Amino acid sequence: MIIGTCKIDLRLFSPNSLKEKRRILNSLIAKLKNNFNISVSEVGNNELWQKATLGIALVSNDSSYVNEILDKVIDYVEEFNDVEIIDVEMEIL
């Protein structure tokens, strides 16, 4: 069993409140779950308006598949309009 994890630190451009931040993140998280069949959650910077940390997990029996999917997830987040990636930490166990 291969487990891939990824932590993505984000900067959000447009929110003026935590409610707007949640709207943006909920949209991004739903799209990631639907497109890539992964587990995603906000795991840090919960009370800051313009920063967020997403935790992502994926389980497979092929490490190259896990690496490929996590790379695609990172590319997808980079293309998402309302956020900018500050830092990425990826680990495959």
Is 14 in contact with 82 (CB distance < 8 Å)? yes
Looking at the DSSP bridge assignments, the partners of residue 4 are 58, 92
Confidence (pLDDT) at 49: 85
Structure tokens at 27: 């949209």
Find the domain containing 75 and state its range: 2-92
> pTM for the complete prediction?
0.89
Number of structural domains in the chain: 1
CA distance 15 to 50: 7
CA distance 40 to 42: 7
Structure tokens at 92: 């495959």
Q: Residues 15-50: pLDDT tens digits?
A: 888 889 999 999 999 999 999 999 999 998 888 889
- Report phi then psi at 33, rounded to 5: -65, -45
Say which CATH number the domain at 17 has.
Answer: 3.30.70.1120
